Amino acid sequence: MEKIEQTKKLPSKITKKCNFCRKKSLVNITCTKCDKIFCIKHRCPENHNCIHDYKRDFQIAEKIITPKIEVI
């Protein structure tokens, strides 16, 4: 009998790499603003040069939170 080798395709492992340094890590963190995956070293927006405009978010929140003062 001939041995027929069947090549079974294993499910491909989804390896998630840091979008900044391109290294594989066990713990991957997704940035809530730019939705990219980063390692622990680059998890902060300042460390991965996040493209999100935080200054505009603060200005919008400031307008919502601060009430208008009426002149007496």
Q: Say whether pLDDT at 14 is over 70.
A: no
Q: What is the pTM of this model?
A: 0.55
Token couple for 70 = 């009426």
| Phi, psi (rounded to 5 degrees) for 64 | -75, -40
pLDDT band at 8, cuts 50/70/90?
A: low
Residue ranges per domain, the chain? 29-65
Pick 18 or 57 by higher pLDDT.
Answer: 18
* Residue % of the chain over a pLDDT of 70: 79
CA distance 71 to 55: 29
Q: Say whether pLDDT at 21 is over 90.
A: yes
CA distance 50 to 36: 9
Reduced to 3 states (helix: H, G, I; strand: E, B; else coil), residue 38 is strand
Token couple for 49 = 């040069």
- How much is the pLDDT for 68? 74
Name the amino acid, one letter, at 36.
K
